[in-house]
Structure 1
Amino acid sequence: MLLESGQNSTTANSQSKQCRICLDDDNPNDIISPCLCSGGSAYIHRKCLNEWRSENAGGRGFKYCDVCKFEYIVESVSSDAKAERERLLKYYVFVIRDSTAIILLVQFVILVLAFLLKFMDRKSGNVKDLFPELIKGFMVYYLSAVILLLAIVGLITMIIFFCASLSRSSSTGNCNTNGMCGSVVAFIIVCALVGLIVGVVASVILLKKLMKHHASQLWLRQEAEKYIIKDFQDRRSELEQYKKKTNTDNTNET
C-alpha cells in the first residue's frame, strides 16, 4: 500500500508539471522551473524554453521571462572546445540550408515562368526573336523568365513608390485629363525599364534581410543550448533570495 501510494503521488506530481508553452507533460526530466512564475506557468520544458529564447523578437526573451520579467540565472557555460566546434558547424549548416532553400524557391519560380513563356511562345516564336542566335533552346525562356521576374518585382516597387507619393501629396486642384493616356503609357514604360535595376536592388535587400534574420535566429538557438538556464524546481526559497538581491541592487542604484 505504501509503495502504491508513493507511486500515485509521484504520478500526480509529474502530471501537475505541465509545460506552459507546449501544454504537455511528457519528458518530465526536461521540465524545469527557471523563474518566479507560479501555478500553471511555473514549469516549462528546457527545449521549449531554448526555442522560445531563440525566436523571441528583440532578443530580450533570451535573458528574461516574458511573464514575470525575471532575469534567468545561467547555471553553467559550456567551454568544451569540441562542443563549441560542433555548435558552430551546426550553425553554418543551418545557414547554408536556409540559403539553399531560398535559392531553390527562386529557381522554382523562374522555371515556372520559363515553361509558361515557352508554352505561350510555341507558335509565334516572338520570344526567340528577341535573343541572338548564340542563345538557343530552353536558355532563351530561362533568361526571359529571369528578366520578367525582376521586371515584375521592380514594377511592383515602382507602383508602391508612386502610390506613396500620391498619398503624401496634398494637392486638390483639377486634374487635366489631356494626355492622361500618354502619361500612363510612359509610366508603364519607365517602370518596365527601371524595373530590372529596382528588382535587382530590392531582391538583394530582401535576401540580405532574410538571411540576417535567419542567421541571428540560428545563432541565438545555438547560444541558448550553450548557456544553460538554472532550474529552481523545488528550490523556490533560493529563487526568492535572488529576487530580494535584485531588488536590493536596484534600490542601491536608485
Structure 2
Amino acid sequence: MQEPQRIHRDAGGYPAAAAETDPLLAHPPPPRSPAEIEDEEIEDEEIEAASAACCRICLESETEPGDELISPCMCKGTQQFVHRYCLDHWRSVKEGTAFSHCTTCKAQFHLRVECLEDNLCRKMMFRLFVARDVFLVFLAVQTVIAAIGGMAYLLDKDGQFRNSFSDGWEHILSNHPVPFYYCVGVVVFFVMVGFIGLIVQCSSFNTNDPCLAGCRNCCYGWGILDFPASIEACLALAVIFVIVFAILGVAYGFFAATVAVQRILQRHYHILTKRELTKEYVVEDLRGCYTPPKMDPEQEQRLRTLQLM
C-alpha cells in the first residue's frame, strides 16, 4: 500500500511548491488590523456618497457657481446634500423655525451674518407680486360674474326678461345684451354673497345666543317660513329680498376684499422679507462635520423676535 503524499507547507500555511512558483504566495500580504478595515469601509462609503450626491429638494445633482451642493446639518445619506438656492427658497416660504433649523433632523444651521444694503428691487418685486395677486382675485370674481350672466342669457334666449325693462331708464341696458346680462350677473353675485355671508354669520352664533333668536324672528317676520298668499306680495317680497341681500353682498364683498388684500400684503411682505434675510444670514457648508453652532446673542435675539428661530 502506498503512503499518502505529504504536502509540505511553509510558515504562512501555503504549499511550499506553490510558494516557490508564485511570488505573491511566497510573500503574502500582512494581515490588516480592524481599524484599517473600518477606515477603508468609511472611505468607500464617502466615495459612493459623493458620486451619488443630489439635492434632497429638487433631486438634481447638477450645480452652478453660487448654487453648489452643501451639507448644512446632521442629515446623512440621500438627505445630506441640498442646493443652496433650494435651501434658501425653502427657508423663505416655510413657516416656523425652518429659517434657522433643518426640518428633518432639527439641527440648527451655522449662519454667517452678512450686511446688505437696502435694495430697491425688493420693493418693486413686492408691488409686482401684490398687483398680480389682486388682479388674479379680480379676474376670478369677473369669471364668476360672467358665468352667471351667461347662464342668465341661456335661460332668457327669447329675450323676454330683457325686453321687460325696455320702458324705463333701463332701456339703455336692455338694448345691449352684453352689459344687461353682465349687470344681472353682478346683482346675482352680490345676492349670493350676501345670502352666504348671512348664513355663515347666523351659523356662527350659539344655539342659546339671543342674536340667533333675533335671526329666527327676522326670518319669520320677513315671511321666509310663512309665505303670503298673493302673487303680488310674493313678487314684492322677492324684490325686497334681492335688494337686501344685494346690499349685504356688497358689504360682505367689501369686507372680504379688504381681508384678502391685507392677507396678500402680509404674505408677500413676509416672504420677501425672509428671502432678503436668507441673503443676510447665509447657511454655511459643514461638509458632513456638524458641530453645535455659536451665534451672536444680538443676532439670535433678532431672529427670535422675528419668530424665525
Return the TM-score normalized by structure 1.
0.69
SS in structure 1 at match of 2:114:
strand
Q: Aligned partners of 1:53 and 1:194: how far apart in 2?
A: 48
2:82 aligns to what? Answer: 44
Within a 5 Å distance, the mapping from 1:46-125 to structure 2 comes to: 46-57=84-95, 60-67=97-104, 68=106, 70=108, 73-79=111-117, 84-125=119-160
Q: Aligned partners of 1:72 and 1:113: how far apart in 2?
A: 56
AA matched with 1:94: F
1:13 aligns to what? Answer: 50
- Once the two structures are superposed, what CA deviation does each residue of 1:56-103 show, in whole Å capped at 9, x if it has no partner? 34x543444444162662442432x5xx12222122112111111111
- Once the two structures are superposed, what CA deviation does each residue of 1:148-176 show, in whole Å capped at 9, x if it has no partner? 001111111212333344x62499xxxxx
SS in structure 1 at match of 2:90:
helix
Offset at 1:143? 1.1
Return the TM-score normalized by structure 2.
0.58
- Higher helix share goes to which structure? 1
Relative to 1, partners in 2 of residues 1:91 and 1:185: Cα closer, same or farther, differing over 3 Å?
farther
Residue segments in structure 2 that go unaligned for 5+ positions in a row = 1-45, 211-219, 228-236, 302-309
Q: 1:161 aligns with which of 187, 196, 201?
A: 201
1:232 aligns to what? Answer: 285
- Once the two structures are superposed, what CA deviation does each residue of 1:22-65 show, in whole Å capped at 9, x if it has no partner? 4x1323443333445555444333333333333334x5434444
Give the superposed CA RMSD. Answer: 3.8
Relative to 1, partners in 2 of residues 1:116 and 1:17: Cα closer, same or farther, differing over 3 Å?
closer
Relative to 1, partners in 2 of residues 1:43 and 1:128: Cα closer, same or farther, differing over 3 Å?
farther
- Once the two structures are superposed, what CA deviation does each residue of 1:98-156 show, in whole Å capped at 9, x if it has no partner? 11111112111111211221221222522453562233412111111111001111111
2:305 aligns to what? Answer: none
Relative to 1, partners in 2 of residues 1:180 and 1:199: Cα closer, same or farther, differing over 3 Å?
closer
Aligned residues of 1:154 and 1:191 also touching (Cα < 8 A)? no
Aligned residues of 1:151 and 1:196 also touching (Cα < 8 A)? yes
Offset at 1:15? 2.1
CA radius of gyration, larger in: 2
1:176 aligns to what? Answer: none
Residue segments in structure 1 that go unaligned for 5+ positions in a row = 1-8, 172-178
| Residues paired across the two proteins, number | 225
2:62 aligns to what? Answer: 27
SS in structure 2 at match of 1:184:
coil
Relative to 1, partners in 2 of residues 1:53 and 1:209: Cα closer, same or farther, differing over 3 Å?
farther
Q: 1:129 aligns with which of 132, 156, 164?
A: 164
Relative to 1, partners in 2 of residues 1:93 and 1:230: Cα closer, same or farther, differing over 3 Å?
same
SS in structure 1 at match of 2:158:
coil
Q: Aligned partners of 2:253 and 2:68: how far apart in 1?
A: 42
AA matched with 1:73: L
AA matched with 1:141: Y
1:175 aligns to what? Answer: none
1:204 aligns to what? Answer: 254
SS in structure 2 at match of 1:103:
helix
